[in-house]
Structure 1
Amino acid sequence: MFKKFVVNALDERAIGKAVRYEELRHKFQANPANVDGENKPPSSPEMQMTLSALTNVVSRLDQNCASLVQDIIAATWVGRDTLFVSAYVRFLGNLVSAHANYMGVVTKMLVRNFGMLPSSVGRLPGYPVVDRNEIYDRVHYALQYILELVPTAATSTLFPQLVAEFPHKSEKKLEHTCYLANMLRVVEYVPALRNKLLSVITDRVIKIDIEIQVDLDELDDDEGDEIEAELTGVALDDKELVTVDEESDDEEASNADEDEDVPEDSVKSLKETVDKLDSMLDLLFNYYSSYFDISDKDPSYLPASAINTFEMIHGFFNTTIMPTYRSRYTQFLLFWAAQKAPLFSDHFCVSMVERTLDNTRPVGIRQSAAAYIASYVARAKLMPQKDVRAVVRILCRWLSEFVDVRSVDCNGPDVNKFRPFYCVVQAVMYIFCFRWRELQEESEDEWGVIETSWTAGLDVMQKVITSKFNPLKICSPAVVDMFAKIANHLQFVFCFTIIEQNKRGGRGREEEMLDSYFPFDPFLLKKSRRWIDECYVVWTPVPGLEDDEDEEESDDDEADDEDVGIEGGEDDEGEDSETEGSER
């Protein structure tokens, strides 16, 4: 009966009579949720039989029947009973097999169900309740069935559609996380799209990452820190190292902005963006973790899946993450993956050192690579000690050769002329602040006395610091000051005399110094930080350093009292003495 009705409707349509054809369309246009009133929707068995009849004559559903096909594709189906869903999916498969021109609209309909669906979709009157997970299962079942029939559609149709329907960065968290989770499911049964889809995902995630940085940069420094701590649930103290008192230069500007209130809408929007990024990164970490199942019994054996996955992530890093300026969190995907095996860590370090020291590369790339290698070696908890020393040794050897060869060209500190050199110096200082324990060697002399020395060619730092290049004036004040304190406490090198001389001569404009951007600074996201905590070096105070600082402050107070007397009594030094006193 249903087959006869469908055939008659199509036959009459062919000769210009559209009454039964429109009646057929109306069956699929009817909303199954509208059970009250005159226009009741057809029952599920009736719809199922109609679909089966259409499947048998699917070859006749050409462009002349496009309106009917559009109605069927737009019909509510994911919340109906199982038998209807099976008939519907079978119809879609036969349709795209017979008419390739419908593949686009069918794929678009399926992909649009990957987002955050309202619960009402699975709560149709007269039908069993279908939860959201079951709905997504049905959509994937339909997509898999179609791709098995038309495999070429994966690249030609599905991939562009997945990219086009990816939520805009302004969409809410649930829209992003539902869509991302479903994209990752597609990757599992369409492995040909794995690299391309994950590349798109990385690109979209980093755009959200950058948006956070832009929003924070618009806030006052103190307000930004406080809001970030509130958003991430991490105390300000966890931001560690590199905070330096720079009271004199910025005090007035900071006081001027002190009373400004942060707009409530801006904070709310920023909080939502951070939460969204956190959830998306957590999904990605969870996805990648299944490919890094490396045996503890034989860590030297690396499955092909682990190697391929790391190479893929490293590729995304090279093409998308590293060229993006000042991203905050996306790069931790590589930080985490590189520590899954010493081979991966070594591969990443070699690539960054090579870019840092290669004078044929653009200066910007070399500076970025230096920041990455410094931050990684300083923070990578699972990086073998020998590899930490190897990186520092290579950097120090290059610094030594640079000073020997280029000193003749140096008339004083010049960040524009020698920027890569200063980047490497800053990298070594930063690594030293975190990994000085691994860079020490203990040996026992013939009388049994334990002697401590420095490994990895670090002795060259004395020559570098006292050279005409004067890196202590160019490198980030935050890094310089912390390095000076630790190096002095450990009796490694002594920097304070040069630092004071630099201060007297003027510290220089901000554009004449390196910034203190280190891409693996503390990971502060609440949910996804669970993946990072186990492999991250947290800043710990150097034993005894605080005691030294207290003694120095006491000595400085006494010295200041004495200096006042000296400056007041040394009239014979004239104008120069007065100038020096005013600078102090």
Structure 2
Amino acid sequence: MVSLVAQSPSGLPAQNPKPTKPLLRRSTLSGTIRKREDAGLDSDILSAPCSPVKRPRVTFNPDVEEKVMEEYSPKLRSLESVRGEVKRAIDAHGRGDSEGYDIIKDIFAPRKEDDEREDQGDIRQYLLALSSNAALLNRGCSGLVGAMLACEWMGRDEGFVKAYVQFLGSLASAQGLYVGSVLGMLVGNFSGVRMSSGRLRGYPTVNREQLTSRIHVALKYLLRLIPSASSTLSPIISSKFPSSDDPKKVHVVYIENLTRLTEYAPELKSDIFALITDRLVKIDVQMQVDLDDLDDGVGAAIVQALTLQPTREVDLDGEDSDSDADSVTSDESLDNDSKRIREVQGNVEKMDAILDLLFTIYDPYFSDPHSLEAASMFETLLGHFTHIILPTYHSRHAQFLLFHFAQKAEHLVDQFAGTCVQLAFQSGRPAILRQSSSSYLASFVARGAHVPAHVVRTVFELIGSHLDHIRAENEPTCRGPDLQRYSTFYAMTQALLYIFCFRWRDLLASDEVLDENDDSFPAGDLNWTPGIKDTLSRTIYSKLNPLKICSPPIVSEFAKIARHLRFMYVYSLLETNKRIRLSQFASGRSNGALRDTGNGGNSESWHQLDGYFPFDPYQLPVSRRWVDPDYVQWKGIPGLDGKEDDDESGDEDEDEDVEVEEDTATDEDGDE
């Protein structure tokens, strides 16, 4: 039998051997318990006492659950242990020893497709530990913070996502220098998340909508935790907005996410809608420039092709594919002209999709046009019109948001028309903005199907009264027609001519009965609203001679209609004007007038107004569904349509984009 008596190093028995045996027993037992508890074992199975002298008989309890013991694994490390490791690694990094720091960075690094390593089982523990030590993540730890912001977090389990969002909050609260980076990372996903982000190895698949929702959950949490973050977020949203060259899908998804953001950050709503309008106008102008650069037939063919095959839905379900037409331009098999056409077609589709989305976004606000919500949103739209749309020359479609929603109720019609009147008549404003305001006013009144007749008459009278004032003030010193000197007068006169061409029926006296089906129409002189004819006569036959300056196609159409309706005969004046050279009266003082684009300063057209009217026929095939019910198409006059007038002026501009007759032809065909 083995002796348990302790001996001294010399081999002699020790003086006091009695405590040795029980001490050894207690030490062995407690050491076994500690090791098993650290390994995650249940201490209940150690309830039987151990004795080296007598071994108890082995029995099996059928109620005890059998477990397979695993080796020690880092997955089972306590949170306190990981916190200590993280703190030590950060402190060492500050002293120049980055070994542990780099190991932690690598834990959060995205795994490459060919990386066979399993996902780090304790990554959540490290995430929680870093949240606890967020105050230590100063500027010197930007590399680690960058790795964490770039990590694959959206596609993991709910517990990890929650912990990650809380980490973002802790980081932004403790270290303000990272607020912009955190917000930028989240907004960077507004252009669309990749489906691969929701297909991480070892985790259930997360669909695109869930991924997007997690981004907004994080943003909402941060904005509530740090209210001042809104001021930081606004410029980030602007800087992350897709460029004009990005495809349709990217723009649509980004705008949808911005709209979703306004639901929980209403303080950003005004900035967000203004940003969308600003970028929309830029795309609109570029699209129009591209169309103008193409041959007229090619541009018309593009619009016609899109009209025949409109695509309302934007594909968001494919695996990061892009079905837009602009993506086809990379095909090397296409020649340069074909690529250019595909590119323009893609831009038209993009503009169409964005506007259709914006009509959809704004429409619920006007479900009750008399509500405070509608009034507030219309004020927002008017602000966009005044500061973004109006100063942009040749905006072609963005303004139709105002055109549509202004006609939701008569008081909104009055409000928009009144804004245009105020801007057109306001002295001190640049002449080019006053001219543009006159064009918007005339075009809205002429083309708005829900603009009441009394509003047409009121606007006509207001413009006429203002023209009388300008004429009386300038006629005594006038030498002859001069666009630079009297640009506002000519712009307002052209507005009256345009309104007359489209809405002459509303300028008749209220007791006038029309029968346009009568073959002899008009059978006699029509009864006009008092003052209408006198106002136009004084204006047209003044020394300022507006019919020489106004756009020739509009003057020609007015002359034909006015003679046919026995309203006014101006062909004698037009013949006289053929002998007048505008260059002899030009003051040489440029004030930015909207002039007809001629071939240089020696061309007569250089001294004439451009026939730009912003609500000319709407060309975008999908979004036009919002506009068509509000739009006045050209209605021919019995006995005049299709007849060539031998007396009309031959000094006409052939530009079909501004010619009233060209518009009437396309209106009747319903293609524009």
TM range (shorter): 0.7 to 0.9
Residue 23 of structure 1 corresponds to 103
- Letter matched to residue 429 of structure 1: L
Partners in 2 of 1:498 and 1:321 — Cα distance? 37
Residue 520 of structure 1 corresponds to 615
User: Among residues 340, 348, 351, which one is paired with 1:266 in the alignment?
Assistant: 340
Asked if the contact 1:396–1:457 (Cα under 8 Å) also holds between the matched residues in 2, the reply is no
Residue 536 of structure 1 corresponds to 631
Give secondary structure in 1 for the equivalent of 2:484: helix
Residue 344 of structure 1 corresponds to 412
Partners in 1 of 2:305 and 2:110 — Cα distance? 49
Residues 2 and 486 of structure 1, relative CA distance in 2, 3 Å threshold: farther
Matched, 1:9 2:85: yes
State the identity %. Answer: 39
- Letter matched to residue 4 of structure 1: E
After superposition, what is the alpha-carbon deviation per residue over 1:428-463, rounded to whole angstroms, capped at 9, x for unaligned?
110111111111125389xxx998411263112233
TM-score by length of 1: 0.81
Residue 444 of structure 2 corresponds to 376
Partners in 2 of 1:234 and 1:432 — Cα distance? 36
After superposition, what is the alpha-carbon deviation per residue over 1:349-389, rounded to whole angstroms, capped at 9, x for unaligned?
22222332344433212211111111111111222221111
Partners in 1 of 2:423 and 2:183 — Cα distance? 43
User: Among residues 444, 447, 455, which one is paired with 1:387 in the alignment?
Assistant: 455
Partners in 1 of 2:345 and 2:233 — Cα distance? 33
Matched, 1:134 2:199: no
Size of the alignment, in residue pairs? 514
Residues 176 and 443 of structure 1, relative CA distance in 2, 3 Å threshold: closer
Alignment of 1:249-260 (within 5 A): none
Give secondary structure in 2 for the equivalent of 1:436: helix
Partners in 2 of 1:382 and 1:514 — Cα distance? 28
Asked if the contact 1:472–1:480 (Cα under 8 Å) also holds between the matched residues in 2, the reply is yes
* Unaligned ranges ≥5, structure 1: 236-260, 296-301, 557-584
User: Among residues 574, 577, 588, which one is paired with 1:499 in the alignment?
Assistant: 574
Partners in 1 of 2:567 and 2:360 — Cα distance? 43
Alignment of 1:89-488 (within 5 A): 89-155=165-231, 157-231=232-306, 263-294=337-368, 302-443=370-511, 452-455=526-529, 457-460=531-534, 461-488=536-563
Residue 337 of structure 1 and its aligned partner are, at CA, apart by: 2.6
Asked if the contact 1:442–1:450 (Cα under 8 Å) also holds between the matched residues in 2, the reply is no
Q: CA RMSD in A?
A: 2.8
Partners in 1 of 2:186 and 2:338 — Cα distance? 38
Asked if the contact 2:82–2:125 (Cα under 8 Å) also holds between the matched residues in 1, the reply is no
Asked if the contact 2:191–2:253 (Cα under 8 Å) also holds between the matched residues in 1, the reply is yes
Partners in 1 of 2:629 and 2:349 — Cα distance? 21
Residue 219 of structure 1 and its aligned partner are, at CA, apart by: 2.9
Partners in 2 of 1:194 and 1:269 — Cα distance? 32
Asked if the contact 1:2–1:50 (Cα under 8 Å) also holds between the matched residues in 2, the reply is no
Partners in 2 of 1:306 and 1:515 — Cα distance? 35
Structure with greater helix percent:
1
Give secondary structure in 2 for the equivalent of 1:545: coil
* Unaligned ranges ≥5, structure 2: 1-76, 311-334, 514-522, 583-602, 649-672
The higher relative CO (CA closer than 8 Å, separation ≥ 6) is in 1
- Letter matched to residue 172 of structure 2: V
Partners in 1 of 2:571 and 2:524 — Cα distance? 28
Asked if the contact 2:407–2:630 (Cα under 8 Å) also holds between the matched residues in 1, the reply is yes
Residues 9 and 490 of structure 1, relative CA distance in 2, 3 Å threshold: same
Partners in 2 of 1:35 and 1:126 — Cα distance? 15
Residue 528 of structure 1 and its aligned partner are, at CA, apart by: 1.9
Residue 70 of structure 1 and its aligned partner are, at CA, apart by: 2.2
- Letter matched to residue 153 of structure 1: A
Residue 6 of structure 2 corresponds to none
Partners in 1 of 2:177 and 2:505 — Cα distance? 66
- Letter matched to residue 544 of structure 2: F
Residue 327 of structure 1 and its aligned partner are, at CA, apart by: 1.0
Residues 160 and 81 of structure 1, relative CA distance in 2, 3 Å threshold: same
Residues 9 and 64 of structure 1, relative CA distance in 2, 3 Å threshold: farther
After superposition, what is the alpha-carbon deviation per residue over 1:92-121, rounded to whole angstroms, capped at 9, x for unaligned?
122222222221211111111111333222
Asked if the contact 2:480–2:544 (Cα under 8 Å) also holds between the matched residues in 1, the reply is yes
Partners in 2 of 1:530 and 1:274 — Cα distance? 16
Asked if the contact 1:375–1:518 (Cα under 8 Å) also holds between the matched residues in 2, the reply is yes
**Which structure has the bigger radius of gyration?**
2
After superposition, what is the alpha-carbon deviation per residue over 1:204-230, rounded to whole angstroms, capped at 9, x for unaligned?
111111111222232344544444444
Q: Which segment drifts farther, 346-355 or 477-486?
A: 346-355
Q: Which segment drifts farther, 67-76 or 518-527?
A: 67-76
Partners in 1 of 2:538 and 2:459 — Cα distance? 19
Q: Which segment drifts farther, 274-283 or 388-397?
A: 274-283
Residue 240 of structure 1 corresponds to none
- Letter matched to residue 353 of structure 2: S
Q: Which segment drifts farther, 368-377 or 346-355?
A: 346-355
- Letter matched to residue 285 of structure 1: F
Partners in 2 of 1:325 and 1:90 — Cα distance? 48
User: Among residues 579, 601, 605, which one is paired with 1:510 in the alignment?
Assistant: 605
Give secondary structure in 2 for the equivalent of 1:546: coil
Partners in 1 of 2:340 and 2:555 — Cα distance? 35
TM-score by length of 2: 0.71
Asked if the contact 2:168–2:182 (Cα under 8 Å) also holds between the matched residues in 1, the reply is yes
After superposition, what is the alpha-carbon deviation per residue over 1:378-408, rounded to whole angstroms, capped at 9, x for unaligned?
1112222211110001112233444455433
Asked if the contact 1:30–1:41 (Cα under 8 Å) also holds between the matched residues in 2, the reply is no
Give secondary structure in 1 for the equivalent of 2:119: coil
Residue 535 of structure 1 and its aligned partner are, at CA, apart by: 1.6
Asked if the contact 2:390–2:436 (Cα under 8 Å) also holds between the matched residues in 1, the reply is yes
- Letter matched to residue 119 of structure 1: M
Give secondary structure in 1 for the equivalent of 2:527: strand
Asked if the contact 1:25–1:71 (Cα under 8 Å) also holds between the matched residues in 2, the reply is yes
Partners in 2 of 1:430 and 1:386 — Cα distance? 17
- Letter matched to residue 169 of structure 1: S
Asked if the contact 1:12–1:18 (Cα under 8 Å) also holds between the matched residues in 2, the reply is no
